[in-house]
Structure 1
Amino acid sequence: MSYDATRQRVEHYFDRTATRAWERLTSDAPVSRIRETVRQGRDRMRARLLGALPRDLTGLRVLDAGCGTGLMTAELAQRGAEVVAVDISPALIGIAEARLDADLRDRVTFASGDMLSADLGAFDHVVAMDSLIYYTGRDIRDALGGLAARTRGSIVFTVAPRTPLLMTMWYAGKLFPRADRSPTMIPHAAQTLGRTIAPLPLRDLGRVTSGFYISQALEVTP
């Protein structure tokens, strides 16, 4: 499936099918035990990615690529960053805007659309948490190459790691497709992905596993 086709499927899922579920998952509202493990895993991964960035981001322009409901956006702004928060889902952008504290709003520019658009400009750092997990290695290579050309510092992002559980889920998704199924994650081995995106240098930032949430943190420094 091409990048554009995958992006359209992701947009449909998050803007129509899953908006309420993601709004609840990224809040303090009670959720099921399984979703609570996902929430905890995402909190740990967000902290891991933020830990790879400078503590003081004052005056730096940072792209939150695939910002969702804005949890990462708020933390970047609290560190002083000038944040461009972009998501493919206008519905999630609306939630993120509504949730952002008033004293941080002058540091954040929200945009709905393609997180890879050159129209967004240049950045000091890029964060892409769980927004590249649906794409092939070639698509990730092209995405990182385009971002690297406009980024002075690091690009931190996540992929779905190539584990037995995720590979089983991936094959099941291919064998039993459903129209309302969430977009299928494509697992990647960090070493293989590193060869695919070469000559960009890839650094492994570690894995977070929390119940059904399994994600690998990586960093590229142009």
Structure 2
Amino acid sequence: MSVGATYDAYRGRLETYFDRTAFDAWAKLTSDAPVSGIRATVRAGRDEMRTRLLDWLPADLTGKRILDAGCGTGALAVEAAKRGASVVAVDVSAQLVNLARERLPSELDIDFRAGDMLGDHGEFDHVVAMDSLIHYRFADIVAAAARLQARTRGTLLFTVAPRTPLLLAFQGIGKLFPRSDRSPAIIPASPARLMRDLAQNGWTAGRDARTSTAFYKSHAIEMVRG
């Protein structure tokens, strides 16, 4: 399934946002540095979601190949590598990828790449896309997830923005940031509908769960091959 022109357009906006507009803010958010109350709840929510997705992966990943699709500064990729996985970590932001390389513990080896997470990165045992599809329209999410399924031997784990009063009111977490580093809009999507649409061609819907802190709302979905 091919993604539409809107996918490419939105991906370009994300590249501009993370590389030029909000790099410093996101570098701080993904560190241990003190942040404001609102950003602290976003950080806590992201930490909780990352832990959930990692819990859905096998405890021992030795010999497994993992794609971290939309890796940001590499926190999930690092944890997967600590479990023995061979990790390819891709992000549209070259700036965030460079920061991920700088933060990488010396004892680990992760293949960080700047570019499109849907590019030709090979085949994988598991693919994780945490908060990587939340800025895209529903049709683009389905098409992108299907593309990732096509190169996944085991499970695809990804998150979407659930339709909640908070997200509808603010049109996404990014609008809670100062205007100078405000993110592109987050587009709510129906987890149940996504799971139905992607449960075909040998795939079944697995677990799903929501992470909710004061200013972070995200819904995790597991799709299982076979």
Normalised to the residue count of structure 1, the TM-score between the two structures is 0.91
Identity of aligned residues (%): 57
Structure 1's consecutive aligned runs of 4 or more residues displaced over 4 angstroms after TM superposition are none
Normalised to the residue count of structure 2, the TM-score between the two structures is 0.90
- Matched residue, 1:11: 15
- Matched residue, 2:32: 28
Q: Which residue identity is paired with 1:147?
A: L
| C-alpha separation in 2, matches of 1:73 and 1:120 | 15
| C-alpha separation in 1, matches of 2:145 and 2:21 | 28
Residues 199 and 223 in structure 2, CA contact (< 8 A), matched pair in contact too = no
SS in 2 for 1:166: helix
2:128 maps to 1:124: no
- Matched residue, 1:95: 99
Q: Which residue identity is paired with 2:164?
A: T
Measured against aligned partners, the alpha-carbon deviations of 1:105-154 in whole angstroms (never above 9, x if no partner) come to 2xx1111000011x200000001000010111211111111111111000
| C-alpha separation in 1, matches of 2:206 and 2:165 | 23
| C-alpha separation in 1, matches of 2:65 and 2:181 | 37
- Matched residue, 2:82: 78
Shift of 1:80: 0.4
Shift of 1:204: 4.0
RMSD: 1.8
Residues 137 and 196 in structure 1, CA contact (< 8 A), matched pair in contact too = no
Contiguous gaps of at least 5 residues in structure 2:
none
2:63 maps to 1:59: yes
- Matched residue, 1:188: 189
SS in 1 for 2:154: coil
Contiguous gaps of at least 5 residues in structure 1:
none
2:140 maps to 1:136: no
| C-alpha separation in 2, matches of 1:163 and 1:195 | 20
Measured against aligned partners, the alpha-carbon deviations of 1:28-70 in whole angstroms (never above 9, x if no partner) come to 1010111111111111000000011100001100000000011
Q: Which residue identity is paired with 1:85?
A: A
Measured against aligned partners, the alpha-carbon deviations of 1:70-108 in whole angstroms (never above 9, x if no partner) come to 111110100100000100000000100000001002xx1
Residues 138 and 196 in structure 1, CA contact (< 8 A), matched pair in contact too = no
- Matched residue, 1:104: 108
For these two proteins, the number of residue pairs brought into alignment is: 214
